[in-house]
Structure 1
Amino acid sequence: MSAPTGVRDERDKDTGVAVVTLDRPQRLNAIDLTAAEQLAHIWRELRFDESVRAVVLAGAGAKAFCTGIDRSTVVPQPPSPYSTDDPLLTVGPKANDLWKPVIAAVRGMACGGAFYLLGEAEFVVAGEHATFFDPHTTYGMVSAYETALLAQRMPYGEVARTALMGTAERMSARRAYEVGLVSEVTPDGDELAAAVRSAEIIARQPTEAVQGTVRAVWATKEAARAQAYALAPHLIALGNLPAARQTELFGGRGKERNDFRIR
């Protein structure tokens, strides 16, 4: 079936694989509130579809897998200082109680809020020119949820470097493979097919064993993630610059477009 424009959902009942695609290439697959709702809806719906036994998550176009929250999106916030709404907290499969394996296929940029999705995938396949970076500190924001997820896939020093360097440095697909964020690197354009091939193999395994294994692997890191998530809202509230200042810094991004290095 197909979701409204923003996220595509294609299911192959013969192979048991669904391909979920962020379909906003004109916005570098940044997630607005509608796309966030669509993703949550798809993950929860897939829980009930017995014909789907594995999922591939991709981004439309060649420029980006996902660039996080759409900066033009206005996120209404409750008046209480003890409550903060982050729409990206509910865009991942685990956040929606989906324990079917998800493989991410990354082409182009994956940055910022993209790690909410990559962090809840079982593994990542990337095109050779894919890049990974976290722009939060450059724009005066605390990277909290992203680093909590990355810290469960990469060594501490690599997480710290990625988060602290901001837009000044982008991790190449090859380096991401070396540090464990990516499990396979393919020629550009082949990452989706490679992810689908892996998903098809997994989909042929007994369903209960596969989902139990997904749940077991996630359980090994769930407690640490939950503790980090509990602290994240307070760190963000204390460390983020005012919204107007963030916007001012973000507005100057064109001047630094080429002022970064790939490693």
Structure 2
Amino acid sequence: MTTSPITTTRDGAVLLVTLNRPKANAIDLATSRIMGEVFRDFRDDPDLKVAVLTGAGDKFFCPGWDLKAAADGDAVDGDYGVGGFGGLQELRGMNKPVIAAVNGIACGGGLELALSADMILATEHATFALPEIRSGTVADAASVKLPKRIPYHIAMELLLTGRWFDAEEAHRWGLVNEVLSADKLMDRALELAHLIASGPPLVYSAIKEIVRDAEDSKFQDAMNRITGRQLQSVDVLYSSEDQLEGARAFAEKRDPVWKGR
């Protein structure tokens, strides 16, 4: 009997996604396709608001591409499935928050997977690297994302040398939101997920689309698209019951009741 490399647990409006491929949680093509289906279904499920992604065990979050599978015939340019590698970093319309709970080693594609999340929490013993340079290949997604997330010269050093760095350094450069002891990582990740899930989902959707759309735009061009309601999530928000509910709750001095419509 084959065990799925991905386990999911629903906790109210929160989906916990665990990568579970002993010994190291490496991702092959089949696993990537499953992850794509998991995150696509999460994106499309109106009852789910936030996802938490972590790895099984306490040593590896994810080392990225499964080199043993590649040696057995998995092509590096093969069918990763919907959402691209790891099912998340190229998934269109992913307008729900995702938290990465990095429980150990996150290198190569594993670090790129964490970079696809909106927030990253890490254990004190977590370590990171982009070692592709040593294998004569490129960390493509990280080359796009990392210089936009941390200081350019630091990002280039990490990309060009492939050196390892710890959670404390990752936090210092703003790559990681919080560093926690191993026994507190998942409690904090789920606490944060439930806090976000209690908020207005249409606003979160608008925030994610605005951030994504504005990444390579001039400020005024981005603002014009927002105020002109050219972004679908913004247009939905401005016409929603939740938009009125927020104002009414403030006026009535009560907590808002978000309906996501």
- TM-score, normalised with respect to structure 2: 0.75
Where in structure 1 are there 5+ consecutive unaligned residues?
A: 78-83, 225-263
Task: Please report the RMSD computed on the Cα atoms of aligned residues, expressed in angstroms.
Answer: 2.2
Contact 1:115 1:149 in 2 (8 A): no
- Segments ≥4 residues shifted beyond 4 Å: none
Q: Residue 53 of structure 2 aligns to which amino acid in structure 1?
A: L
Q: Give the Cα–Cα distance (whole angstroms) in 2 for the partners of residues 45 and 152 of structure 1.
A: 29
Question: Per the alignment, do residues 139 and 201 of structure 1 end up closer, same or farther by CA in structure 2, a change over 3 Å counting?
Answer: same
> Does structure 1 residue 7 correspond to structure 2 residue 1?
no
Deviations 1:80-106 (A, max 9, x none): xxxx54738342435223211000000
Cα shift at 1:75: 2.9
Identity %: 33
SS in 2 for 1:185: strand
Give the number of aligned pairs.
211
> Does structure 1 residue 198 correspond to structure 2 residue 192?
yes
SS in 2 for 1:10: strand
SS in 2 for 1:99: coil
Cα shift at 1:64: 0.9
Q: Give the Cα–Cα distance (whole angstroms) in 1 for the partners of residues 57 and 130 of structure 2.
A: 21
Q: Give the Cα–Cα distance (whole angstroms) in 2 for the partners of residues 120 and 34 of structure 1.
A: 19
Contact 2:168 2:179 in 1 (8 A): yes
- Between the two structures, name the one with larger relative contact order (CA 8 Å, sep ≥ 6): 1
Q: Residue 21 of structure 1 aligns to which amino acid in structure 2?
A: T
Q: Residue 205 of structure 2 aligns to which amino acid in structure 1?
A: Q
Q: Give the Cα–Cα distance (whole angstroms) in 2 for the partners of residues 112 and 131 of structure 1.
A: 11
Deviations 1:208-261 (A, max 9, x none): 11111122222232679xxxxxxxxxxxxxxxxxxxxxxxxxxxxxxxxxxxxx
> Does structure 1 residue 44 correspond to structure 2 residue 40?
yes
SS in 2 for 1:52: coil
Question: Per the alignment, do residues 48 and 143 of structure 1 end up closer, same or farther by CA in structure 2, a change over 3 Å counting?
Answer: closer
Match of 1:91 in 2: 86
Q: Give the Cα–Cα distance (whole angstroms) in 1 for the partners of residues 175 and 154 of structure 2.
A: 10
For residues 1-263 of structure 1, the aligned pairs below 5 Å read 5-13=4-12, 16-26=13-23, 28-73=24-69, 74-76=73-75, 84-85=77-78, 87=80, 89-93=84-88, 95-97=90-92, 98-166=94-162, 169-221=163-215
- TM-score, normalised with respect to structure 1: 0.74
Q: Give the Cα–Cα distance (whole angstroms) in 2 for the partners of residues 76 and 93 of structure 1.
A: 19
